[in-house]
Amino acid sequence: MTNGPTDLIKEGTTELFVYKNKTSVKGPSIRENTPFYNPAMELNRDVSILVNQWFLNTSAKHVHILDGLAASGIRGIRLAHELSGDFEVSINDRNDQSFALIKQNIEKNQLENISVFQRDLSSLLLGQRYHSIDIDPFGSPVYFFDAAVRSVYNKGIISCTATDTAALCGVFPQVCFRRYAAWPLHGPSMHETGLRILLGCLCREAAKYDRGIEPLLCYTTDHYVRLYVQVNNGKNAANASMAQYCSIPVKDVPLSKESPALVGPLWLGNLQKKTVVQEIRTLMSIKPLNTKHLLWKLLDLLEGEADAPPFFYTINDLSSELKVSPPTMDHIIEQLKNKGFIVAKTHCTPTGFKTNAPLGVVTEVFK
Ligand SMILES: C[S@@+](CC[C@H](N)C(=O)[O-])C[C@H]1O[C@@H](n2cnc3c(N)ncnc32)[C@H](O)[C@@H]1O
Could you tell me which of 110, 113, 69, 111 has the C-alpha nearest to residue 89?
113
If one residue of 22, 69, 135 were mutated to test the ligand 1 pocket, choosing by the most ligand atoms within 8 A of its CB, it would be 69
pLDDT at 283: 97
Over the range 98-110, which residues count as b (16 or more CB within 10 Å of their CB) and which as e?
bbebbeebbeebe
Distance 68 CA to ligand 1 centre (A): 7
- Comparing C-alpha atoms, which of 314, 96, 90, 290 is closest to residue 191? 314
Tell me the torsion sign for CA atoms 324, 325, 331, 333.
Answer: positive
Q: What is the pLDDT of residue 1?
A: 43
Which residue's CA is the closest to the ligand 1 atom numbered 27?
71
Ligand 1 atom closest to the Cα of residue 69 is 12
Give 66-100 pLDDT, tens digit per residue.
999 999 999 999 999 999 999 999 999 999 999 99
Neighbours of 70 (CB within 10 A): 30
What does residue 11 show for φ and ψ, rounded to 5 degrees? -125, 140
- The one-letter amino acid code at 84 reads S
H helices present in the chain, as ranges: 42-58, 74-82, 96-109, 121-127, 145-151, 165-168, 173-180, 190-207, 235-242, 274-286, 292-304, 315-322, 329-338, 359-366
Q: Could you give phi then psi for residue 231, rounded to 5 degrees?
A: -110, 125
pLDDT, tens digit, for every residue of 227-241? 999 999 999 999 999
Task: Check pLDDT > 50 for residue 102.
Answer: yes
pLDDT band at 27 (very low <50, low <70, confident <90, very high): low
Q: Kindly give the distance from the C-alpha atom of residue 42 to the centroid of ligand 1, in angstroms, as a whole number.
A: 16
CB count, 10 Å around CB of 298? 17
Q: Indicate the residue type of 323.
A: K
Rounded Cα gap, residues 2 and 106, in angstroms: 20
Q: What is the DSSP letter of 31?
A: -
Cα distance between residue 236 and residue 232, in whole Å? 9
Asked if residues 313 and 254 have their Cβ atoms less than 8 Å apart, the reply is: yes
* CA-proximal residue: ligand 1, atom 9 (nearest): 37
Q: What is the pTM of this model?
A: 0.95
State the pLDDT at residue 254: 79
- DSSP assigned state of 349: -
What span, in angstroms and rounded, lies between the C-alpha atoms of 272 and 301? 11
For the segment 245-285, what is each residue's pLDDT rounded down to a tens digit?
999 988 888 777 666 689 999 999 999 999 999 999 999 99
